[in-house]
Amino acid sequence: MDLTKKTVHYTQEGKTVFDRFYLDEDYNVPEQKEAVQRIVYSSAKLKTEDVRPVENYVKVTGKAYYKILYMTQGETTLSVLEGKIPFEEMIYAENDGEETFFIRNERTEFTVSVVHSRKLTLRVAAEMELGRERMRDEELTTDAESDFPVYKKRQKNKKPLLVACDVYRPAAVEQLRVLAEQIGVPMYSEPDSKNPVKIAENAIQEAKAKGYDVVIVDTAGRLAVDEEMMNEIAAIKKAINPNEILFVVDSMTGQDAVNTAKEFNERLDFNGVVLTKLDGDTRGGAALSIRSVVNKPIKFVGTGEKLDAIDQFHPSRMSDRILGMGDIVSLVERAQEQYDEEEAKRLQKKIAKNQFDFNDFLSQIAQIKKMGNLKDLASMIPGVGKAIKDIDIDDNAFKSIEAIIYSMTPAERSNPALLNGSRRQRIAKGSGTNIQEVNRLLKQFDQTRKMMKMVTGSKMGKMMPKMK
């Protein structure tokens, strides 16, 4: 492989931190203002003035600016009250001193209660999403020639570029753009061009100029009987000379998928097949037939509509799924993709000291969610797939747990022992749950922490870091 490299400076984003806090204030209506009859409208917006790390916390200061529109006594006129509430929030976020923090997103809910005509009670419920980043230097490949196949971005540490060459289907380019934004991959397009061959050629030049080492060209869907479209795809192949051509086919089309694969292979001599909608074809018959007819490997399969529902094709694992035996290997691989060795070491130390807290709990939930759809994950466990076939597992199953934790103060998350009866009542109200759900979570958390402490302290726990 011949590589051309250069060193670039860039910012690397770290794990996002979420925080929820409340601002409460009693407000006395100024003498120059008329008395309040009823509230018509109210709004509040946060204005952050400073974000800075302080040991293992991030100190965020600013003000909540609010406006209140009310009807005066006698329901005769409307009047406005304006003001601000200063805030200083300490958000737990372990850092090494080399990271900078910023406010990625924030949301407020503002409620106003009338105590009497000249006194109001104000409450701002604020949710804050805190981003972090650090400067990095990295040597990037600016040009490469290789027959190395295209695999997952994260696993192979690639720098890909998506190319929109579907100029026929309405909104196809925009759809690819949305997808690219969701997975964090740049996209090349020429909205005013209707020449996919030229677009593909220009994209290759763009990739070489900007250091992208994998270019994925998305072409329009077509039928083998459409001679003009088949000539076009052949022209794209000739123009860019790709290392790999993947034929994408709907497995639900059955025998038609086989016939289409045969025609495309004769024209393009593709390298492999991507089977979609395999979740709807439990027999996997199309996979077997295509492999037999075109003698090309099935490289990837799509098993759902979401971004995490694409996997490398493994014949043995597919046969296990077909027979209802699960796919524990794929489940382990998904877990490994989210495995962070440094984070694991940090957690092990905290567990050993019985310091595992709700911040760590949130981090673990986030890792589980990144692994994909909960029902798909459960179906990979041997013996479970058939049992849950007709059962809906809500992807939002963690939402109430997260809401309860986000309703805690930073101090409460770090030290659950602070959670007395009054604090639990406040958390239940703030999270939209009830006291029973809060108590249940705290009990489960306490049991989990004790179990983790026992495991870590055992010989098995001491062996775990050595296992690969």
Q: What is the pLDDT of residues 170-186, one digit of tens each?
A: 788 888 888 888 778 89
Model pLDDT, residue 106: 87
pLDDT band at 339 (very low <50, low <70, confident <90, very high): very low
Cβ neighbors of 364 (< 8 A, separation 6 or more) are: none
CATH of domain 337-466: 1.10.260.30
Higher pLDDT, 314 or 447: 447
> Are 275 and 301 within 8 A, CB to CB?
yes
Which phi and psi (to 5°) does residue 43 adopt?
-150, 155
Q: Count of residues for the chain?
A: 468
> Are 165 and 220 within 8 A, CB to CB?
yes
CA distance 129 to 103: 6
CA distance 408 to 424: 9
CATH of domain 137-330: 3.40.50.300
Model pLDDT, residue 56: 81
Cα–chain center distance at 137: 25
DSSP-H helix ranges across 280-434: 285-294, 315-322, 328-337, 341-352, 358-370, 374-379, 399-406, 410-414, 421-431
Q: Which amino acid is at 37?
A: Q
Q: Dump pLDDT digits (tens) for 256-312.
A: 667 778 888 888 888 888 878 766 544 455 666 677 777 888 888 777 666 666 777
pLDDT at residue 61 greater than cutoff 90: yes
pLDDT at residue 343 greater than cutoff 90: no
Which phi and psi (to 5°) does residue 10 adopt?
-150, 165
> Are 104 and 58 within 8 A, CB to CB?
no
Model pLDDT, residue 112: 93
Domain with CATH 1.10.260.30 in the chain: 337-466
Average model confidence (pLDDT) across the chain: 76
CA-angle at 116, arms to 112 and 118, nearest 5°: 85
Higher pLDDT, 310 or 22: 22
Global pTM reads 0.41
Model pLDDT, residue 6: 59
Model pLDDT, residue 28: 94
Model pLDDT, residue 177: 87
Cβ neighbors of 296 (< 8 A, separation 6 or more) are: 247, 261, 265, 270, 271, 272, 273, 290
Model pLDDT, residue 460: 40
- Tokens representing 391 are 């059962």
pLDDT band at 133 (very low <50, low <70, confident <90, very high): confident
Q: Dump pLDDT digits (tens) for 70-122.
A: 998 877 788 999 999 999 998 888 777 778 888 888 889 999 999 999 999 99
CB contact burial 296-330 (16+ within 10 A = b; e otherwise):
bebbbbbbbeeebbebebbeebbebbeeeebbeeb
Domain with CATH 3.40.50.300 in the chain: 137-330
Q: Dump pLDDT digits (tens) for 27-39.
A: 999 999 999 998 9
pLDDT at residue 143 greater than cutoff 80: no
Give the Å distances, CA to CA, from 397 to 90, 117, 208: 28, 43, 44
CA distance 133 to 95: 11
